[in-house]
Amino acid sequence: MPSRVGRHRLVLPPERTGIRAPRRSGRLLPCRTRRDRNRDPATGMRAALARRRDFAADRKAAGNGASTSLCVIDSMNDSSTPIRVDEPMPHRKVIRAWITPFGDRVIARSIVLLVVDYLLLFAAFAGALLAASSIVKIVCGMAAGFITGRLFIIGHDACHQSLTPNHRLNRWLGRIAFLPSLTPYSLWEVGHNVVHHGYTNLKGFDFVWAPLTPDEYAALSPARRMLDRVYRSGWAPGLYYLVEIWWLRMYFPAKAYLGASRPIFRRDCLLVTGFAALWIGAVVQIAAATQQPTLLLLFTGVAVPFLFWCSMIGFVVYVHHTDPRISWHANRAEWSRAAPFVSTTLHLTFPFGIGGLLHHIMEHTAHHVDMSIPLYGLKDAQAKLEAMLPGRIVVQRFSWRWYFDTARRCKLYDTGRRHWTDYRGRATSDAHLRADAPMAEQRPIDAPTGLSGA
């Protein structure tokens, strides 16, 4: 097994220790502190009322034009006038208000999606275990892996509290949807919701497909350099996810990666372990009952689906945030000024309705702007964003030529010069937009010369 000693830890910054669903209220309320949340409810209520009175007094004294730090601001009216490239980038609150109408969550629709995908999964497993042909078994096993990915996307929505309006129901549905992918719900919630979404493409925080700098790569051992080359070859997204994400950071992670531990982390790991044991046990029983080779069924009914799923999710998270036009940042202040919720995310389009088969997870810019948009609202939300921000959102039609060209060019990232390089340190993309420019001066990053979209 790979070593559990590595570079990145799931350390929660003090201001991001809580996970709260986005508010849709238009009320103006001051932020709650961690100390306030730990108080007795009655004390907390009195404190909240006092803060509200103080806040109202401050606003009255400062006048209508005062600038005050708020948790939530009033939703702004939608606009049909696109923001030109030479105009200032709107505040995230404004951009989010454009797609708020697509955020309606329907319990019945969400449960139907979950049930349908589980029925498809059972059918695929039946083929993987009972088909007469070994080739058909393998194909059905791959189909089971793909449907596992669909279920994971439903669980991903539940983990964001965007699947249904009921938080407790979301937690249960999320855990149920995560079982076939063996994903511990609470650990994904921390690593994805807090770290990845909170600090997308910020070095030292976001660890998912984070590129090394030329200096970091030079400091690696020869074995680790070779492993990085394998990961970024374009042929091994599944290996990357299996080792660097699932094994090291999701499944009973070591303290070196996790930092602070919680009882719920272990319980969720035990939950998926129990499911895996039942899954493997059922396959062994079916092999005995049908007089088939046990190893063959373990391969087609367990290994193939899980490895296909790992390859699928490894590929998806890679293409979401990796492209010669997409930047990484080493300085938190610079990153914050660069509108990362728009500039660090790729919208990858597919023919033949493949985007719909993936539950629209590739409409990813809209998801990063507002995580509360359910999967069935992302397509319209993404279209709205691209209509309102022409030229600012990176949109790419998928092709294998584009994918392997990206893998060839996006090996290391020079945060000083703000461009991608190969393993020899040679620039493979144009310099990205100056990250320390004020938000009002932000422009789309330069597209590398010769990048093919074919």
Q: What's the pLDDT tens digit per position in 274-316?
A: 999 999 999 999 999 999 999 999 999 999 999 999 999 999 9
Tell the burial category of 342 from Cβ atoms under 10 Å away from its Cβ (0-12, 13-18, 19+). Answer: buried
Residue 3 maps to a domain: no
**Share above pLDDT 90 across residues of the chain, in percent, rounded to a whole number:** 69
Band (pLDDT 50/70/90 cuts) for residue 72 is: very low
Higher per-residue confidence, 164 vs 58? 164
Q: What is the pLDDT of residue 198?
A: 92
**Confidence band, pLDDT 50/70/90 cuts, at residue 43:** very low
What does the pLDDT read at residue 258? 83
Asked if 263 and 344 sit in the same domain, the reply is no
Q: What is the C-alpha to C-alpha distance for residues 123 and 143, in angstroms, rounded to an integer? A: 10
Residue 67, domain member (yes or no):
no
| Residue 100: pLDDT over 80 | yes
Q: What is the C-alpha separation between 395 and 386, in angstroms, rounded?
A: 9
User: Do both 291 and 354 map to the same domain?
Assistant: no
Establish if 35 belongs to a structural domain: no
- The structural domain count of the chain equals 2
Predicted confidence at residue 363, as pLDDT, reads: 97
Query: pLDDT higher for 416 or 3?
Result: 416
Please indicate, yes or no, whether residues 116 and 221 belong to a single structural domain of this protein. Answer: yes
Same domain, 223 and 357: no
pLDDT at position 452 over 50 = no
Domain check: are 332 and 304 in the same one?
no
pLDDT for 86: 84
Whether residue 430 is contained in a domain is answered as yes
Strands (E), 239-389: 346-349
The C-alpha atoms of residue 35 and residue 37 are separated, in whole angstroms, by 5
Count of all residues that appear for the chain in the document: 454
The arithmetic mean of pLDDT across residues 51-58, rounded, is: 45
Residues 397, 257 share a domain: no
Residue 63 lies in a domain: no
When the pLDDT of each residue in the chain is averaged and rounded to a whole number, the result is 83
Report strand pairing: 346-349 vs 419-421. unpaired
Looking at the structure, tell me whether residues 258 and 395 fall in a common domain.
Answer: no
Both 285 and 141 in one domain: the answer is yes
Query: Which of 27-36, 55-64, 366-375 has the highest average model confidence (pLDDT)?
Result: 366-375
- Read off the pLDDT of each residue in 4-13 and give the average, rounded to a whole number: 44
- Whether 180 and 295 map to the same domain: the answer is yes
Say whether both 240 and 123 belong to one domain: yes
Q: Is residue 289 part of a domain?
A: yes
Final residue before a domain boundary, out of 300, 315, 330: 315
Q: What is the predicted pLDDT for the residue at 79?
A: 58
Instruction: Give the pLDDT confidence score for residue 70 in this predicted structure.
Output: 35
Domain hosting 395: range is 322-441
| pTM listed for this prediction | 0.79
Contact 198, 140 (CB under 8 A): no
State the helix-helix crossing angle for 304-321 and 134-159, rounded to 10 degrees: 50
**pLDDT tens digits for range 329-362:** 999 988 988 888 888 999 999 999 999 999 999 9
* Of the residues 292, 315, 338, the one at which a domain ends: 315
Whether 61 has a pLDDT exceeding 90, the answer reads no
Inform me whether the pLDDT recorded for 222 exceeds 90.
yes
Same domain, residue pair 347 and 254: no
CA–CA gap between residue 188 and residue 264 (Å, rounded):
12
**Which of 315, 347, 382 is where one domain is finished?**
315
- Average pLDDT on 103-130 reads 98
Q: Give domain status of residue 59, yes or no.
A: no
171, β-bridge pairs: none
> Do 343 and 431 sit in the same domain of this protein?
yes
